[in-house]
Chains A and B, each alone.
Chain A
Amino acid sequence: MKQTQGSFFVGYVTIKVKGNMPELFFQDCIHVGVPVWNVKRTGKNTCIGNVNRSDIPLIRKIRKRKDYKISFVHKKGIPFILERFMKKKHFLIASILSLFFIVFLSNIIWKVEVTGVPTDLEKKITNQLTSYGIHPGTWTFTLDSPVAIQQKLLHDIPELLWIGVEKKGTTFQLEGVEKLIVTKEKVHGPRHLVAAKKGVIKKMYVSKGLPQVYLNDYVEPGEIIVSGDLTSDEEPGDEKRMKMKRIHVSLFQLKEKLLRELGTKFQLQSHLKQIMNCIQESKKINIFFGYFLGKYQFGTLNHQSMRQPMLKQLKTLFISLNGNYL
């Protein structure tokens, strides 16, 4: 049966042999080497049998020598089907055209979807896309890759935080996220430093503002630690504030005294002792220095000519002070 396998793919014909002793014609066929199958006797002088399409020329050659009449009953197999198909020109043209149309239409952008953004931004995106050439009815071949489009869109539309560009078949799906542009509120006026949670003050350094607490003070959330309002420190009945004021006054007095001494001639040792006493009393070295320098630089002395040498002297005083005692 191996010889007849796959005959459908190569094509085979059923031949009808007419003549005296038709079976002998098939005998001649196999003698030449033409495989024959399904041989049937249909009448006294007729026989039918199958032969491969490629063997037809050989059969014709055999027929020439003999006195048989041969006719093709039917042709079977793919080559014959194709042949028949090719003969029908209109059918062929129609199938080619339909294939062409499918390819053509599937390479056109039919829809551009923008989601996730408000309508005005959506309009903007659509306009921008149109300027790139992406709108319903364009060829897909002419467009950039989605990644490039995404980069372009992000570059050209600053309101967009992110945009996802995806090409799904014939639709372009864009999913945007709007950038929320928040203008920071400007803060006016003085501000307080307020405790966010309860705690004990361990260390303090205030460069500007009035401290409202002491070291080792317990503070509740919402309590003012450093006041930004420098003017309203004269509220009655506030014990802490009164204390603060006292220190400030004493510091001020010390400063005045120092300035006086610096103006003429100062004896460092004795004054240093005084200063140290004062410092120990206040227990707030950092605040002291901060306060002192701050006041000195920006506050009381306005005279430019006076200020510079004073400042220098004061600084040397502090440096030596630091070196010796701290």
Chain B
Amino acid sequence: MKKFQQRLRPLFVKYFALPSDAILELPRITAIGQIHVYIENHKGLITFTDTELRLKSTKGYIQIKGKGFVLKMMLPEEILLEGTVSEIKFIPE
């Protein structure tokens, strides 16, 4: 059943022009230059240090590297990261 849903969803997005992030439950990452990264729809925080932030998403992990990281705001499924970002990486499961 779940497999069937997962297969159906991209079709929904394609034919009904629905926002893909909401339907596919993918993280939405908004970066403002190097200084801000705003991540929505993540599934939990894995690690957070001065230089690295790792988040869980539906399909794997998101790894953000840089320096001087501060989590400006933390809400369920939302994170605002501040600092100097050098790298955003998607790591598959």
Contacts and interface: CB of A to CB of B under 8 A. Distances in A.
B76 A38 contact: no
Nearest to A47: B48
Interface string A1-37: 1011000000000000000010110110111010111
A40 interface: yes
Contacts of A47: 48
A39 interface: yes
A41 B74 contact: no
SS of A interface (majority): mixed
A308 B52 CA distance: 142
B66 to A, nearest CB: 13
Nearest to A23: B48
A36 B79 CA distance: 10
A21 B71 CA distance: 15
A37 B80 CA distance: 9
B72 A26 contact: no
Contacts of B76: 30-31, 33
Interface residues of B, number: 15
Dominant SS among interface residues on chain B: strand
B75 A3 contact: yes
A49 B70 CA distance: 9
B73 A37 contact: yes
Nearest to A51: B74
Interface string B9-36: 0000000000000000000000000000
Contacts, number: 51
A39 B48 contact: yes
Interface string A84-124: 00000000000000000000000000000000000000000
Contact of A23 (B47, B75, B80): B47
B82 to A, nearest CB: 9
A37 B74 contact: yes
B71 to A, nearest CB: 4
B86 interface: no
Given A30-B76, A31-B76, A38 B44 contact: no
B47 A1 contact: no
Nearest to A44: B49
A39 B48 CA distance: 9
Nearest to A3: B75
Contacts of B75: 3, 30, 35
Contacts of B44: 27
B45 interface: yes
Contacts of A37: 71-74
Interface in A245-277: none
Contact of B71 (A1, A3, A24, A39): A39
Contacts of A23: 45, 47-49
Contact of B73 (A21, A35, A41): A35
A1 B73 contact: yes
B47 A21 contact: yes
B73 A49 contact: no
Contacts of B71: 26, 36-40, 49
Contacts of B50: 41
A35 B72 CA distance: 11
A23 B48 CA distance: 6
Given A3-B75, A23-B48, 15 more contacts: A1-B73, A1-B80, A21-B47, A23-B49, A26-B48, A31-B76, A33-B76, A35-B73, A35-B74, A36-B71, A37-B74, A38-B71, A39-B48, A40-B70, A47-B48
Q: Shortest 8 CB-CB distances between A and B: which pairs?
A: A39-B71, A23-B48, A27-B45, A36-B74, A37-B73, A30-B74, A41-B49, A41-B50
10 contacts: A4-B73, A24-B45, A26-B48, A26-B71, A37-B71, A37-B72, A37-B74, A39-B70, A40-B69, A40-B70
